[in-house]
């Protein structure tokens, strides 16, 4: 007579069965599970590795939902990676790109100029009919480089649509934008009035003003262009929508708090300045463009006083993701020596705003601050309103800061 299994043996067999099922499930789904864990880690990361991000997204047959989650973090590195991924894969994957078309349009109004450039490029590569509206929206931006970006993409459109849009920029307060508008009009009409964009670009490194002859040539050419348009306006019957028509809504991007030491060793926290507009300027002592921009920031601080907080964040000693120095090789240089060098430059330049030290680029990487100078503007509610690379004038800084005082809409 066969013995009946005891309760202990039954529990043992149940446990073995459960373990077998777990092992079978792991063998079948561990790659998906590990991929899920990796993607969650990338979402939480302050500065995800670009290669890991691309590989993680590429594993998904339809990464649209994941890309939306990355975008929704509001983090600068994540949004730039999303747009880079779309630019690399949109041509071969039109089916899931259609699911995130609204995200692509939002990218053309993103606070980050780098994101805008890529988003507009994707629309152009797809012959998207919304390119005209999105490019035209750039023309209302306080940043002249954004207006030039809009002009670049308008140049690729039909003359009867683009010419009435571009003509008003002949009166742009920035001479480079006005000259760019004239050259675009020359491209469409074939009428050359002698205006050249290179003649409208000042040489900041040489610390000289524009050549008076070049300025006169540009002004005269623009006046001739305006007269030409008055004589030919009937040839361009395209009806523009009202100039105050809204472009894509600028996303709301809360900025995570951070702390960094200043030159006196005091810890400064971003949240201390909530209620004020904050301008972060990432710079380094070895960066010549940063040095050229410092007088404008000093002037800006003198003009705006306590209404705006300027924080100069030094990336001296910082390295990129591959462990290479961003600028001068700082291997073997002590933190005290780096701090002393930054302090000497700050004193010599007469910097009148707080200078913070970020030798490990903990904060710099959050804003992709490796290409210098990088500037970030944060509004009174702690939301990112603008990120861009390169120098700007005091006038442009003030226009951007004024915009940041307005409700985000």
Contact 313, 362 (CB under 8 A): no
pLDDT, tens only, 36-60: 565 677 778 888 888 999 988 888 8
Residue 85, helix vs strand vs coil: helix
DSSP sequence for 295-359 = HHHHHHHHHHGGGEEEEEEE-TT-B-TTS-BSSS--TT--HHHHHHHHHHHHHHHT--S-EEE-T
pLDDT for position 243: 45
- Please, how many CA atoms are within 13 Å of residue 310, restricted to the half-sphere of its CB? 23
CA distance 15 to 7: 12
pLDDT in tens, the chain (409 residues): 455 566 766 677 767 666 766 655 555 544 454 455 656 777 788 888 889 999 888 888 889 999 999 999 999 999 999 999 999 988 887 788 788 888 999 999 999 999 999 999 999 998 998 999 999 999 999 999 999 999 999 988 888 888 999 999 999 999 999 999 999 999 999 999 999 999 988 765 444 567 888 899 999 999 999 999 999 988 876 655 554 444 445 556 899 999 999 999 999 999 999 999 999 999 999 999 999 999 999 999 999 878 899 999 999 999 876 667 777 777 678 889 999 999 999 999 999 999 999 999 999 999 998 899 999 999 999 999 999 999 999 999 999 999 998 887 5
CA distance 131 to 108: 9
pLDDT for position 20: 64
DSSP-H helix ranges across 45-93: 50-58, 64-72, 76-89
Closest by Cα among 157, 161, 170, 156 to 236: 161
Q: Dihedral of CA 94/90/98/247: which sign? A: negative
Read off the pTM: 0.86
Bridge partners (DSSP) of residue 261 are 267
CA distance 158 to 155: 8
Convert 281-298 to b/e letters by CB count within 10 Å (16 or more is b).
Answer: bbbbbbbeebbebbebbb
Determine which helix (DSSP H) or strand (DSSP E) holds 376, and give its type and residue range: strand 374-378
pLDDT for position 248: 47
């Amino acid at each position: 007579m066969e013995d009946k299994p005891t309760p202990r043996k039954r529990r043992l067999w149940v446990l073995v069965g459960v373990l077998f099922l777990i092992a079978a499930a792991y063998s079948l789904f561990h790659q998906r599970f590990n991929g899920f864990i990796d993607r969650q880690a990338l979402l939480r990361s302050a500065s995800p590795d670009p290669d890991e991000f691309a590989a993680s997204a590429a594993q998904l047959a339809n990464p649209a939902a994941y890309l939306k989650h990355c975008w929704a973090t509001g983090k600068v590195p994540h949004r730039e990676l999303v747009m880079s991924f779309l630019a690399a894969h949109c041509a071969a994957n039109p089916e899931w790109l259609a699911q995130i078309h609204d995200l692509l349009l939002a990218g053309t109004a993103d606070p980050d100029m780098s994101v805008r450039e890529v988003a507009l490029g994707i629309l152009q590569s797809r012959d998207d009919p919304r390119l005209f509206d999105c490019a035209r929206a750039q023309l209302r931006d306080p940043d002249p480089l954004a207006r030039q970006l809009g002009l670049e993409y308008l140049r690729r459109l039909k003359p009867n649509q683009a010419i009435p849009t571009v003509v008003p920029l002949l009166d742009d307060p920035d001479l480079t934008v006005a000259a760019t508008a004239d050259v675009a009009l020359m491209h469409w009409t074939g009428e050359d009035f002698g205006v050249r964009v290179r003649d409208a670009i000042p040489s900041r490194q040489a610390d000289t003003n524009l050549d008076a002859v070049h300025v006169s040539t540009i002004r005269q050419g623009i006046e001739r262009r305006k007269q030409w348009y008055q004589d030919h306006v009937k040839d361009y019957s395209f009806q523009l929508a009202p100039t105050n028509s809204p472009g894509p809504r600028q996303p709301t991007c809360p900025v995570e708090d951070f702390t960094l030491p200043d030159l006196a060793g005091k810890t400064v926290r971003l949240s201390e300045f909530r209620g004020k507009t904050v301008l972060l300027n990432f710079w380094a002592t070895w960066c010549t463009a940063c040095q050229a921009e410092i007088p404008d920031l000093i002037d800006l601080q003198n003009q705006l006083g306590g209404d705006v907080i300027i924080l100069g964040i030094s990336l001296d000693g910082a390295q990129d993701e591959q462990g290479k120095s961003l600028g001068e090789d700082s291997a073997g240089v002590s933190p005290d020596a780096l701090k002393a060098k930054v302090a000497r430059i700050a004193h010599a330049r007469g910097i009148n705003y707080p200078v913070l030290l970020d030798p490990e680029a903990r904060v710099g990487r959050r804003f992709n601050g490796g290409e210098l100078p990088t500037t970030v503007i944060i509004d009174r509610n702690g939301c990112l309103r603008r990120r861009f690379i390169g120098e700007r004038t005091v006038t442009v800084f003030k226009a951007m800061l004024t915009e940041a005082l307005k409700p985000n809409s």
